[in-house]
Amino acid sequence: MTTTPNANSGAGNAGADHNGNEELKTTIPGAFDPALIQRMIDQGLFIETAAGLMAAEVPEVPADHSLAEHEKNLLAAVLVGTDDQRERWGLFRRAIGLRFDEVVPGSIWTQPGLRALALEIDELFRGRRDIDVLNAYAIREDVRQRALDGRFRGSLLQIEEALSEVIAWGDDGLIHPELDFKIACRLFQSAKARAVFYPGLRKLLAREQIDCGIDGELESCRQLLNDATSITAGRYSQSFQVCRASDAGRKCLTLASLPADQRPKPISTGIPSLDIDMRGGVIPGTGDSTWVLAARSGVGKTTVGIAAAMGLAYNGASVLVLSCELSRQAIGARLFANYCRKASGVFSSRYSANELEGRGEVIEGRDLERLQQLEAQFSAGIAPNGERMGEVLYQSKFAATVEALAALVEDCKSANPNLSAVFLDHFHAMGPTPGFGSNTTAELAARATTIKAIAGRCELDMFVVAQLNRGAYGNPTGPDVSHLAGTSELERYASAVWLIDRPKLDEFTPAQPGLLEVHHGKFRHGQMASGNELSKTTIRLDRSHCYLEGDEARKLFTGSDLYPGVECL
C-alpha cells in the first residue's frame, strides 16, 4: 500500500495544526498518520490493547426518534379525549420525583414543539392558566385566547403543530397499548434513561485501555448511573440535595433581623382551644406539622374539624378537606352551613347541613333568596365580613389508601401553591395499604409516617381526625393519648393531640347538647396560656352548622378581636 506524499503531508500538517505537537509531523513508515489514529482513538472508534489496536464495540443506542415517540406517547395519553387529565400529569410529575413547587424541566424533551407543549401542560396543571381542565381541546383554546389577548409569549404555530402531531399520533383509530398512561410513563422514563446513559457509556468504553488514573473514570461512571437512575427511580429533582452552613446563616440572619410587623403571622383556626397549642395557628409556606383531633364515634370530631377548616379560611388560609367516609355533597353542605351560620351572626335553625343536603324542610321564598345571596358570596370567596377568604377545597375519597390521599394532596398543592392546611377525615377510615397482611399495627404506623412525610414535603399543616379505642369509654379521667386506636406513631409525630369527649356530671345525667371537653393530650411547642398549662377546656358547638359558639380558652384572648362571635365559657 502506497500513498502520495501530498496526501501524507496534508494529513500530517492537519494533525500538527490541531494538536500543536511538532512530533506528530513525522509519519510512520507504511503511511500511518499518528494524529489521525489518535483522533480515531479519542472518538472511540479504536481501543488500544496489549495486542494492538482493536475496533471498539459500540453499544446500541436508541435513535432520537425512538425517544421522541415515547414523548409523544406520554403526551397523547394526557391530551387525547375530553376528560380532565390533571391526575395523570400529577402521576408523571411524581414518577420523575418533582416537588410541588418545581416545574417539569424543558431539558427532558427532545423536540422544541413537544417541549413547548409539555411546558404549557405543566403551567396549566400548576394553576397558572385561565382554565383548570387538562386535555388537548382545553390547551388549544387557552393558547388561542391568550394569543388574541396579547398574553401569549411563544409560537402559536409551534404549539398547534405539536398538538396536531400528538393528537394524530394517539387518535389514529388503531389500538395503542403503549398509550395506557402508566405504561407510557414507564416507557418514557426508560427511553430517557437510555438516552442519558448509553452515549456516556460509549465514551467510557472508548477510554478503557488509556493509561490514566481510574478515579476519574469511576466518578464519570457513577455520575452516569446517578443521572439515569434519577429518571427511572423518581429522583429527577431540580432542588439542591443538601444545604450548607452559609444557607443556614443567611436564612437565620434574615429571619432574626426582620421587623416584628413584617414577620409572617400565624393564621388562627378560629378555635382558641386549638390555637393555644399551635402557637397561634398555622403559618402558610412553613408548615410541616401534623395535628390530631380524636374522639369516639359520634362525639363530634368531624364537626370540630370542619369548624377549624372554615376558621382558617375566614382568616385567609387556603384549606383542603378530604373525607374517607362522607360524600362530596355531605362535605360541601357542612362547609356551606358553617358559612351561613357565620353570616347570620346569631343562631338560626335555617340553612343547617341537613337542610342543605336536601333532607330537611324545603327552603323557599325570602329564605331561598337569602341563601342564593350567600351562595354567590361563598362561591366568590368573600367572607361574611366582606373580606377575601382563603380558598376552600374539598373531596370525597371513600376508603382511599394513604398513598392515594398523599398523591391527591401533592397534586392539589402543585395546582394551588397557597394551600396551607389539609384536614383528613379520618385516619381509621382509610383503606389498608397492600402488603401488610394482617399486621394492622405496622400498616397504621406506616400510614402515620406517610402523613407526616407529605406534610413536610408539601410544606403544609395536616389536621388528622382519628378514632379512640374502647379504653376511652368510661375512663374516669377522660381520654388520653394512649387511647388513640391502633398505633402510637400517630401521637409520636403529632405536634398536638386534642382528645374530645362529652362531659357528664354522672352516668345518669345526659350530656348537655353541643358541649364538649377538649383534653389537651399533647402540645409539643407549649401553650399560649400565660404560664398556666390547661389540660382540659370546654367548647360549645352548634353541631347542625359545624360552628363554634363558645370556648373556655377564649378568656386567654380577652380584648382581642381574633374570635368574633365566640363566647367565653
What pLDDT score was predicted for residue 59? 44
Looking up cell 401553591, which residue turns up?
417
Q: Are the beta carbons of 90 and 98 closer than 8 angstroms?
A: no
3-state secondary structure 273-297: HHHCCCCCCECCCCCCCEEEEEECC
Q: Are the beta carbons of 472 and 296 closer than 8 angstroms?
A: yes
User: What does each C-alpha distance from 215 to 210, 218, 221, 227, 232 come to in angstroms?
Assistant: 13, 5, 10, 18, 26
Task: Provide long-range contacts, Cβ within 8 A and 24+ apart, for 298-301.
Answer: 299/500, 299/501, 299/502, 299/516, 300/500, 300/516, 300/541, 300/543, 301/425, 301/426, 301/465, 301/466, 301/500
223 has a pLDDT exceeding 90: no
What pLDDT score was predicted for residue 444? 95
Q: What is the largest CA-CA distance in the chain?
A: 118
| Section 10-31 average pLDDT | 45
This prediction's pTM: 0.77
Gap between the Cα atoms of 104 and 97, Å rounded: 10
What pLDDT score was predicted for residue 547? 97
What pLDDT score was predicted for residue 500? 96
Length of the chain: 569
Residue ranges of alpha helices (H) inside 300-364 are 301-314, 328-344, 353-356
219 has a pLDDT exceeding 70: yes
105 has a pLDDT exceeding 90: no
Q: What angle do CA 492, 516, 320 make, to 5 degrees?
A: 55
405 has a pLDDT exceeding 80: yes
46 has a pLDDT exceeding 70: no
Q: Are the beta carbons of 301 and 426 closer than 8 angstroms?
A: yes
Q: Which residue has the higher pLDDT, 191 or 428?
A: 428
Average pLDDT taken over every residue of the chain: 84
Instruction: Give the pLDDT confidence of 538-556 residue by residue, as tens digits.
Output: 999 999 999 999 999 999 9
Q: Which residue has the higher pLDDT, 69 or 387?
A: 387
What pLDDT score was predicted for residue 528? 87
What pLDDT score was predicted for residue 290? 96
Instruction: Band the pLDDT of 226: cuts 50, 70, 90.
Output: confident
Collapsed DSSP state (helix, strand, coil) of residue 253: helix
Instruction: Band the pLDDT of 56: cuts 50, 70, 90.
Output: low
Instruction: Band the pLDDT of 62: cuts 50, 70, 90.
Output: very low
Gap between the Cα atoms of 299 and 502, Å rounded: 7
Neighbours of 302 (CB within 10 A): 23
User: What does each C-alpha distance from 516 to 329, 395, 501, 543 come to in angstroms?
Assistant: 26, 27, 6, 11
Q: Which residue has the higher pLDDT, 26 or 301?
A: 301
Ramachandran angles phi, psi of 174, nearest 5°: -95, 165
> Would you list the DSSP string of 529-555?
STT---SEEEEEEEGGGTEEEEEGGGG
Q: Which residue has the higher pLDDT, 32 or 537?
A: 537
Bridge-based pairing state of the strands 494-501 and 318-323: unpaired
179 has a pLDDT exceeding 80: no
Gap between the Cα atoms of 310 and 391, Å rounded: 10
Residue type, 459: E
Instruction: Give the pLDDT confidence of 361-399 residue by residue, as tens digits.
Output: 999 999 999 999 999 999 999 999 999 999 999 999 999
Instruction: Give the pLDDT confidence of 228-277 residue by residue, as tens digits.
Output: 777 776 666 554 467 889 888 988 998 899 898 888 889 999 999 999 99
Instruction: Band the pLDDT of 45: cuts 50, 70, 90.
Output: low
Q: Are the beta carbons of 253 and 246 closer than 8 angstroms?
A: no
Residue 551, all three cell numbers: 370556648
Residue of 498, 510, 438, 512 lying closest to 465 (CA atoms): 498
207 has a pLDDT exceeding 70: no
Collapsed DSSP state (helix, strand, coil) of residue 421: strand
* pLDDT > 70 fraction of the chain, expressed in percent and rounded: 83
Q: Which residue has the higher pLDDT, 94 or 516?
A: 516
Instruction: Give the pLDDT confidence of 158-169 residue by residue, as tens digits.
Output: 999 999 988 887
Instruction: Give the pLDDT confidence of 303-333 residue by residue, as tens digits.
Output: 999 999 999 999 999 999 999 999 999 999 9
